[in-house]
RNA sequence: GCGGGUGUAGCUCAGUUGGUUAGAGCGCCAGUUUGUGGCACUGGAGGUCGCGGGUUCAAUUCUCGUCACUCGCCCCA
C-alpha cells in the first residue's frame, strides 16, 4: 500500500484540479502577453551553483530545502526551488543580454524539501514574470500592475492586500543592516532563540518575527527609512506615486523584508488571511545585482512569482469556466459504432465537442450520455443509418427530431449549440 | 527541522465502555424498461477500520512505533 502512495508533499493533479491550474496559467499568460511578455521554459534541473550563488548560502532554501541529485558523472544537480535564478541563467547562457529589455513569463513546477501543509507542497507550481534591463521605476510599476491585473481577472484581488516596502540600494541596505545588528546585540539576551540565530545569518528577517518578545524589542529598533539615502527614497516614492495614479491600492509595511539575497529596492507581497499561515499569494521585487552575481554584466531586473496552488484555493465558483457540454453519439447497437465514429469525426471538424458512448443498447447509452452531461444525443439506429439520417435528442427537454446527418451541425448551430 | 491534531467503503461521516457476519448517505453496477436517459423503486458490488509491533483468551477499539494528511513555528509562493 505504501508504494501506491505518491511521494510526500507531491500530489496528482486530477482533471477537476488540473482545469483550475490551467485556468490560472492561461489567464495569467494571456494578460502577461498583452504586456509584451513572452513565455519561456527552463529546465527543472540545474547545477546547484545556479541557486547557491544567487539565493545566498544562508537562505533556508539553499541550506536545507533543495532536492539534490548526483548524476552519473558526479555533478551536483538540484531540482529547481524557484524560477528566477534559472531564467537569469538562461538569459546569460543564450547571450540574450544584447537586446534589452527582456520580458519573460513562465509557469511550471518547483521543488522544496519542506514539511508539507495546506498551500505548501514539496512539488508546487509557480507562475512568474521577469523584466530585465529596465532600471527605472516604470518597470517596477508595470510589473506590479501586471500582477494586480491578473489577480483582478482571477477575482481574488479584493481579498488580497498589496504590501510594499523598500530595502534601498546596497549602500542603504548595508548601513541599515549594521545599525540593526548593533541595536539588537544590546538586547541579545531577550531575543527569541530563532532570532538569535537570524542575527548571524539574516538579521533583516528578525523584522517580521512573530515572537512577542522580539516585537517589543523591535519597537525601538532603528527604522529602515532612517538608513535610506536620497536616491533610494526617491526611487521608492516614484513607485508609490505610480501605483496611486494607476489606482492600485497598497499598504506600506516597513517590516516586509526578503529572504533571498538578490533583492534590493522595492519588495512587495500580495497577502491574504484566507489561507492560514500560508498568507503570501504572490511576491516579488527588484534584483538589480542578480545577473552580475552570476558572473554576467550588470543588468537590472524586477519580477515576481505566484503559487498556483494558493491562487487555485482562492478561486470562486463564478470565475472558473464551465467546460462546454459535449454531444453524445448513441449508436443503438454495437455494429453501428463505426457509423457513430464517422459522424463524430465529421461533427468535430465542424467545431463540435463530441463523445462516443460505449457499449449497451439505447437505454444504457442514453444513461451514459446523461452522465457525461451531454447536451444532445445523436441516435443512430437501423432506420437512421439506412437513410443517412440521425435522431437528434435534446437531453434537457427530451424533444427529438429526425435530421439528415449532413444537416445536423447546422441545425445545432442554429439553436446556438456547438 | 520543532510542537499539537487526525486517519473506518470511491467521497462525507456514524460506530465499537475490547467480544460472533463493521453501518448510513452520496456515488458506482444491475434490474423494473430489448427504439428513449434524468425521477422513483428493488437488488448488488465495494473495507486486512492507514501500516507494523506490543498487551490480551480476544484489538478497528488500549499502547508504542511508522507513514500520510492537517494546524502552529521555522521558511516561503
Residue-wise pLDDT tens digits, A9-56: 999 998 888 999 999 999 999 999 999 999 999 999 999 889 888 777
The domain boundary residue, chosen from A262, A285, A314: A314
Task: Give the whole-angstrom CA distance, residue A121 versus residue A26.
Answer: 22
Q: Are A256 and A398 found together in one domain?
A: no
Q: Which nucleotide is nearest to A84 (CA to C1')?
A: B77
Q: CATH number for the domain including A364?
A: 3.40.50.800
Q: Which nucleotide is nearest to A194 (CA to C1')?
A: B74
**For A183-257, where are the E strands, in sequence order?**
251-252
**CB-hemisphere CA count at 13 Å for A43?**
11
pLDDT of residue A311: 95
pLDDT of residue A58: 66
Domain that holds residue A154: 2-169+229-314
CA triple A365-A370-A375, angle to 5 deg:
115
The domain boundary residue, chosen from A314, A347, A380: A314
- Bases of chain B within 7 A of a CB of the protein: 1-3, 28-31, 33-38, 48, 50-51, 67-77
pLDDT exceeds 50 at position A380? yes
Q: Are A54 and A132 found together in one domain?
A: yes
- Give, in Å, how far the C1' of B52 lies from the CA of A73: 39
pLDDT exceeds 50 at position A2? no
- Number of domains present in the structure of chain A: 2
In this structure, is residue A224 part of a structural domain? Answer: no
CA triple A294-A201-A166, angle to 5 deg:
70
Q: Are A243 and A338 found together in one domain?
A: no
Q: Are A11 and A132 found together in one domain?
A: yes
Cα–Cα nearest to A145, from A232, A253, A34: A34
Helix, strand, coil tally for chain A in percent (to 5): 45, 20, 35
Q: Are A355 and A332 found together in one domain?
A: yes
Q: Which nucleotide is nearest to A369 (CA to C1')?
A: B37
In this structure, is residue A203 part of a structural domain? Answer: no
pTM of the model: 0.91
Cα–Cα nearest to A29, from A17, A44, A41: A41
The H or E element containing residue A21 is: helix A15-34
What backbone phi and psi angles, to 5 degrees, belong to A313? -65, -20
Q: Are A15 and A97 found together in one domain?
A: yes
A145-168, pLDDT tens digit by residue?
A: 999 999 999 999 999 999 999 989
- Give, in Å, how far the C1' of B6 lies from the CA of A3: 22
pLDDT exceeds 80 at position A237? yes
pLDDT exceeds 70 at position A259? no
- Give, in Å, how far the C1' of B21 lies from the CA of A2: 29
In this structure, is residue A110 part of a structural domain? Answer: yes
- Give, in Å, how far the C1' of B38 lies from the CA of A367: 8
Q: Are A76 and A150 found together in one domain?
A: yes
**CB-hemisphere CA count at 13 Å for A395?**
23
The H or E element containing residue A266 is: strand A264-271
Q: Are A252 and A370 found together in one domain?
A: no
In this structure, is residue A84 part of a structural domain? Answer: yes
Q: Are A280 and A382 found together in one domain?
A: no
Task: Give the whole-angstrom CA distance, residue A183 versus residue A177.
Answer: 10
ipTM above 0.90, yes or no: no
The domain boundary residue, chosen from A256, A279, A314: A314
- Give, in Å, how far the C1' of B42 lies from the CA of A395: 26
Give chain A's mean pLDDT.
90
Q: Which nucleotide is nearest to A124 (CA to C1')?
A: B77
How confident is residue A3, by pLDDT bands cut at 50, 70 and 90? Answer: low
Q: CATH number for the domain including A22?
A: 3.30.930.10
Question: At a CB cut-off of 8 Å and minimum separation 6, what does A192 contact?
Answer: A209, A211, A213, A214
In this structure, is residue A290 part of a structural domain? Answer: yes
State the sign of the Cα–Cα–Cα–Cα dihedral A198, A188, A257, A276.
positive
In this structure, is residue A61 part of a structural domain? Answer: yes
> What number is the average pLDDT over the span A189-207?
81
Which range of A206-215, A276-285, A353-362 scores highest in mean pLDDT? It is A353-362
Give residue for cell 499568460: A29
For residue A390, the cross-strand partners are: A403
For residue A163, the cross-strand partners are: A251, A269
Measuring CA to CA, how many Å separate A401 from each of A216, A328, A404? 78, 15, 10
Q: Are A89 and A133 found together in one domain?
A: yes
Q: Are A130 and A238 found together in one domain?
A: yes
Least confident of A11-20, A98-107, A274-283, A304-313: A274-283
- Give, in Å, how far the C1' of B4 lies from the CA of A279: 21
In this structure, is residue A184 part of a structural domain? Answer: no
Q: Are A261 and A366 found together in one domain?
A: no
In this structure, is residue A394 part of a structural domain? Answer: yes
Q: Which nucleotide is nearest to A364 (CA to C1')?
A: B37
Question: How many CB atoms within 10 Å of residue A173?
Answer: 21
Write b or e for each residue in A408-417: b if 16 or more Cβ atoms lie within 10 A of its Cβ, otherwise e: bbeebeeeeb
pLDDT of residue A1: 34
Amino acid at each position: 500500500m505504501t508504494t501506491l502512495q505518491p511521494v510526500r508533499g507531491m500530489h496528482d493533479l486530477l482533471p477537476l484540479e488540473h482545469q483550475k491550474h490551467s485556468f490560472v496559467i492561461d489567464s495569467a499568460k494571456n494578460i502577461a502577453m498583452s504586456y509584451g511578455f513572452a513565455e519561456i521554459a527552463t529546465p527543472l534541473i540545474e547545477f546547484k551553483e545556479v541557486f547557491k550563488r544567487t539565493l545566498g548560502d544562508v537562505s533556508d532554501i539553499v541550506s536545507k530545502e533543495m532536492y539534490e541529485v548526483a548524476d552519473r558523472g558526479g555533478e551536483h544537480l538540484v531540482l529547481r526551488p524557484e524560477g528566477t535564478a534559472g531564467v537569469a541563467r538562461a538569459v546569460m547562457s543564450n547571450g540574450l543580454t544584447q537586446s534589452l529589455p527582456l520580458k519573460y513569463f513562465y509557469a511550471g513546477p518547483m521543488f522544496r524539501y519542506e514539511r508539507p501543509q495546506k498551500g505548501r507542497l514539496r512539488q508546487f507550481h509557480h507562475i512568474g514574470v521577469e523584466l530585465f534591463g529596465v532600471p527605472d521605476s516604470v518597470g517596477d510599476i508595470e510589473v506590479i500592475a501586471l500582477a494586480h491585473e491578473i489577480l483582478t481577472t482571477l477575482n481574488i484581488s479584493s481579498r488580497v492586500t498589496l504590501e510594499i516596502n523598500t530595502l534601498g540600494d546596497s549602500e542603504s541596505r548595508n548601513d541599515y543592516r549594521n545599525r540593526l545588528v548593533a541595536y539588537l546585540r544590546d538586547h541579545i539576551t531577550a531575543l527569541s532563540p530563532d532570532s538569535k540565530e537570524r542575527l548571524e545569518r539574516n538579521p533583516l528577517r528578525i523584522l517580521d518575527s512573530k515572537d512577542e518578545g522580539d516585537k517589543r524589542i523591535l519597537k525601538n529598533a532603528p527604522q529602515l527609512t532612517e538608513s535610506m539615502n536620497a536616491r533610494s527614497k526617491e526611487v521608492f516614492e516614484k513607485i508609490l506615486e505610480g501605483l496611486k495614479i494607476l489606482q492600485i491600492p497598497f499598504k506600506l509595511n516597513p517590516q516586509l523584508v526578503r529572504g533571498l539575497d538578490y533583492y534590493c529596492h522595492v519588495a512587495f507581497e500580495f497577502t491574504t488571511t484566507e489561507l492560514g499561515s500560508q498568507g503570501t499569494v504572490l511576491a516579488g521585487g527588484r534584483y538589480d545585482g542578480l545577473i552580475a552575481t552570476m558572473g554576467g554584466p550588470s543588468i537590472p531586473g524586477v519580477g515576481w512569482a505566484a503559487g498556483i496552488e494558493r491562487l487555485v484555493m482562492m478561486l470562486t465558483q463564478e470565475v472558473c469556466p464551465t467546460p462546454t457540454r459535449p454531444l453524445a453519439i448513441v449508436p443503438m447497437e454495437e455494429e453501428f459504432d463505426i457509423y457513430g465514429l464517422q459522424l463524430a469525426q465529421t461533427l468535430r471538424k465542424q467545431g463540435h465537442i463530441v463523445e462516443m458512448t460505449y457499449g449497451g443498447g439505447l437505454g444504457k447509452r442514453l444513461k451514459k450520455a446523461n452522465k457525461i452531461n451531454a447536451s444532445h444525443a445523436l441516435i443512430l439506429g437501423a432506420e437512421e443509418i439506412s437513410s443517412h439520417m440521425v435522431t437528434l435528442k435534446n437531453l434537457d427537454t427530451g424533444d427529438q427530431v429526425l435530421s439528415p446527418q449532413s444537416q445536423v451541425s447546422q441545425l445545432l448551430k442554429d439553436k446556438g449549440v456547438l
